[in-house]
Each structure stands twice: as structure tokens, then as C-alpha cells.
Amino acid sequence: MIEWLIRHKHTTIVAVLILCLLGITAAFRIPVQMIPDLEVRTISVQTQWPGATPQDIEKEILIEQEEFLRTIPNLQRMESTASTGQATIELDFPYSINVAETLILVNNALTQVPNYPENVDEPKIFAASFSSNAFMYFRVAPVEGNPQQLDMIMMRDYIEDNVRPRMSSVAGVSQVEVSGGAERQVRIQLDDAALVQHNVSVADVQRVLRARNQDTSAGDLEQGKRLYLLRTTGRYDALEDIGDTIIRRDGQQLVRLSDVASITLSHFELRSESWFKDNQVLSLQVQRESGSNVIDIKYAMLDEVERINQELLRPAGMEIILNSDDVRYVEQSISNVLVNLFIGAVFATLVMYAFMRTFRGTMMAVIGIPICTLAGFIGLLLLDRTINVISLAGIAFALGMTLDNAIVVLESIEHERRQNRKPMQAAIDGVKQVWTAVLTSTLTTVLVFLPILFIQQEAGQLYSDVAIAISSAIVASMILSVTLVPLLAAQ
């Protein structure tokens, strides 16, 4: 087989070119990020209860939630923390769990909690990982001079309803969080004297508002071959509608809410504030999906943000501006590793030339460096890994190793040439003499790194990229050393 490949140079060269093409394609298709995505095995549950003491949090929330969460299969550890206004539960599972299925089980367990105290927010469930951290940070602020005199605290609902969905729809984005400002609310300030005068109680006001502010299905109406669905609409659309609500009827006299209260548009209690240069703004944090390409997401997000500014925000007197992003650190880190990889290849070439003293022999050996680098990218793509500083470091480590096989083969071919054999026969005989040694050396190196792939802890997940990159490059160097290198030496 080896002899056939050496004698049929066109077939071998085409195969190498195909390998290079696949490697280039893989390099552009693999997602780029800072470090590998680590498998998540911790799920957190957070429940907000504004103003509650830690003792109340423990009694009313944590104990109730723990009763149902401890029944989840494969749960290894549950740790609960009660602080002022917040309950936090951390659940640890084995590394082998399916995170998506476990999140569903956690959600189902929480839905079984019978009752929460009033004003308790819905529990938030999330599986924390490096990829779930925000990597782009924006602010929404009035345009210069604030000509429309916007109160940014009141703009949160607008951003949540109009801007956040569009940013979340960018490919690769998992979530966009809005902080600062507060949700709008209608504040009804009752007048005690007016309540007494009109013989109306606070309970009367609450009962009427609850009954009035809802849409109700009224069944259906069948008329001939047509069926009409009936629905009464009662939800408030404007402050005036709330004020016109009839609270009590006293003969011909109607007591409306506006007679006993003042109604204003306000906002909920501020739980977070965002400021930029002494001006109140709204902040948005963008999180990515696991395994996505942060560089592609960044530029797609910037394009979408510009469209949002033109179509929505600037006409409304606002604009969204990028504060900072972590992508530039990724780009800088990747660039530094690539530069170091190139420098390493240059030094390896110089060392080869210093010992071989022949430009032709040096080129035959180092031609495998870029090809083996591309083979490393193919290995990363096939095993669903990413380009990051760890995987690129693995490729850099493999540079020197990829030359070992070529050096052994070239020395063997040179030895055969000294026996006055023709170049083609010297190449064939030289490879036959050492191919088993080259194969054995390659397999032992690969087997050294192979166990890393089976380590489930964070260390194994983090350094498996190194093992994949080095193993792929070395296997490629072995194949090239017994095919392409003797083919070139035979010319």
C-alpha cells in the first residue's frame, strides 16, 4: 500500500490537497470562544421575596421547595441559602446527567409547591456555566440632550417588549437580561375622607377592581352554519377607564373610583439601577448558547442593534450603545496563540535546517506542519469541539512532534541513498525500514493523551481539546511521513 502511494504521486497529492481543503473548511466552521464549554452539573433555583427576612424566607419558601426537590433522581447535594429578600438553592448532579431533562424535572418539582406568600416572584431556574455568563454589555440612554425629557426608569417595559425580543432572536444568543429601571404600575392612592363620605371600604375597591380587570369567555353562539365565540373584554386600556370604574351604586348616585382615589401612572419599587456618567440608563447583558461562535454573534448583534436604533429607539428619543464586550479579549487571545504558533513553526524550521544542512530536506519535513495543523482542526470539528486558547495550545504543542516522524523517515531514505540506490527505490526501502517504528511511536504518543478524553471532571473537559488536537496532528504526521515525504524524496 505504501509503495503504491509513493509510485502513484498524483493520487497521493490529490489526497493531501483534499485533506487541506477539509482542514480549511473545518477551521472556518468550528465555533470560536475563549475556553472550552464545561459540562454543567449544578442547577440553581432563585426565588425573590422583596423585604422578607431570612427567617421568613427559610420557613415559607426554602422548606417548602426542598420537600419536593429532594425527590429528583440522581440528586447528589442540595444546599440552601436564605438572605434578605431572596432564597437560593443549589442542586448538584453527576457529570453524566442530561441537563435539559434535569431542568424540566426541577421545574416540575417546583410547580408542586402548593402556595407561596403574596408578592413572591416566580422561581428562576438556571444551570450556570462559563458560556452562560454575559459577554456583551449595552446601555439604553436618551439621545444627546434628551429632547423628549424621557424618564428612563419608566422605559423598562418598552425595552422588554420591543428591544429585548429582537436582540434575543440573533442566532447564537440564549438570553438577553435587562437591568435598571422598573416595570410600570398604576398607583391608586385612596382618600380616607372620601371613602368614609361615600361609605366605601378598601375591600370594596379591591373586589371591584379584581372583578372588572379581566377578559372573560362567554361561550359561543350558533347561528345557522356559523359559530360565534363570545368574549367579554374588561381589561383596562387607559388610566381614565380605571377612574371611571363604578365602585358603588347608591340609588341614582354612582360612586366611581376617581371620587375616592387619585390614579397615577408610576412604577414598581426600584430593585436595581444603572448609571452612566451621572445619567440613569437601562442596561442589557447578552448571553450566548453553549458551543456558539462568539465572534459571529458579536457582529450579527451589532448589525441588529443598528437596525433597532434606526427603526425603534431614535424615533422614540433613545439609542442603544455598546458599553463593552469580552469578544475582543477572545480575538486578542486567539491572535496571540496564532502568532506564537507561527513563531514556533519558524524556529522549528530553523533548527531543522541547522542540523540537516539542506534546504530541500528541510522543506520536505516542515511541509507537514501546516497540513498537520489543518488535521488538528478536522479532529476538533469531528468531535464537536471549539477553537479556543486550549485547543490552539494543543496544536502548538504538536508542532515539534509532527517533525519527529518526518525526520526518522528522511534519515532512513538518506541512508538507503548512500547505498547507491535510485531515488524511487531508496524512498520505498527507506520507508519500509522504519514504518513500524513510526507507527509504534505515534500510537504510544496518542495512547498517552487518550485517557484524558474519559475524565469527566472539569480538568478532563478542559484539557480534552489538547488531547484531540495533538492526537489528530500526530496521526496526520505519521500518514504524511510514510506517503508524502518519501514521494517528495523520490523526485
Residues 361, 481 share a domain: yes
* Same domain flag for 338 and 466: yes
pLDDT in the model for residue 307: 92
CATH number at residue 282: 3.30.70.1320
Identify whether residues 43 and 175 lie together within a single domain.
Answer: no
**What is the number of domains present in the chain?**
4
Statement to judge: residues 178 and 189 lie in one domain: no
Domain co-membership, 470 together with 409:
yes
User: 267, 286, 316 — which closes off a domain?
Assistant: 267
202 and 304, same structural domain?
no
Please check whether residues 367 and 464 belong to one and the same domain.
Answer: yes
Q: Give the pLDDT confidence score for residue 3 in this predicted structure.
A: 66
HEC assignment per residue over the chain: CHHHHHHCHHHHHHHHHHHHHHHHHHHHHCCECCCCCCCCCEEEEEEECCCCCHHHHHHHHHHHHHHHHCCCCCCCEEEEEEECCEEEEEEECCCCCCHHHHHHHHHHHHHCCCCCCCCCCCCEEEECCHHHCEEEEEEEEECCCCCCCCCHHHHHHHHHHHHHHHHHCCCCEEEEEEECCCCEEEEEEECHHHHHHCCCCHHHHHHHHHHHCCCEEEEEEEECCEEEEEEECCCCCCHHHHHCCEEEEECCEEEEHHHHEEEEEEECCCCCCEEECCEEEEEEEEEECCCCCHHHHHHHHHHHHHHHHHHHHHHHCEEEEEEEECHHHHHHHHHHHHHHHHHHHHHHHHHHHHHHCCHHHHHHHHCHHHHHHHHHHHHHHHCCCCECHHHHHHHHHHHHHHHHHHHHHHHHHHHHHCCCCCHHHHHHHHHHHHHHHHHHHHHHHHHHHHHHHHCCCHHHHHHHHHHHHHHHHHHHHHHHHCCHHHHHHCC
Q: What is the pLDDT of residue 306?
A: 92
**Do residue 439 and residue 305 come from a single domain?**
no
Report the pLDDT value the prediction gives residue 267, as an integer from 0 to 100. Answer: 65
Residues 472 and 382 in one domain: yes
Residues 375 and 446 in one domain: yes
Instruction: Write down which residue in 219, 248, 267 finishes a domain.
Output: 267
The CATH number assigned to the domain holding 71 equals 3.30.70.1430
pLDDT recorded at residue 422: 77
**Which of residues 128, 152, 175 is at a domain's end?**
128
Whether residue 218 is found in the same domain as residue 314 = no
473 shares a domain with 415: yes
Which domain does 220 fall in, by range? 185-267
Predicted local confidence at residue 172, as pLDDT: 85
CATH of the domain at 416: 1.20.1640.10
pLDDT of residue 130: 61
The CATH code of the domain that includes 216 is 3.30.2090.10
The pLDDT profile of the chain, 491 residues, written as one tens digit per residue, is 666 766 677 787 888 888 889 988 988 888 888 777 776 678 888 888 887 888 888 888 888 888 888 888 888 889 999 888 888 998 888 877 777 788 888 888 888 888 888 778 888 888 766 666 788 899 888 888 778 888 777 788 888 888 888 998 888 888 888 888 777 777 788 878 888 777 788 888 888 788 777 777 767 777 777 877 777 777 777 777 777 778 887 777 788 877 778 877 766 666 667 788 778 888 898 888 777 788 888 899 999 999 999 998 888 888 998 988 888 888 887 788 778 778 888 888 888 788 777 787 778 878 888 888 888 889 888 888 888 888 888 888 887 788 888 888 888 877 777 777 777 777 777 778 888 888 888 888 888 888 888 877 777 777 888 888 888 888 888 888 888 877 777 77
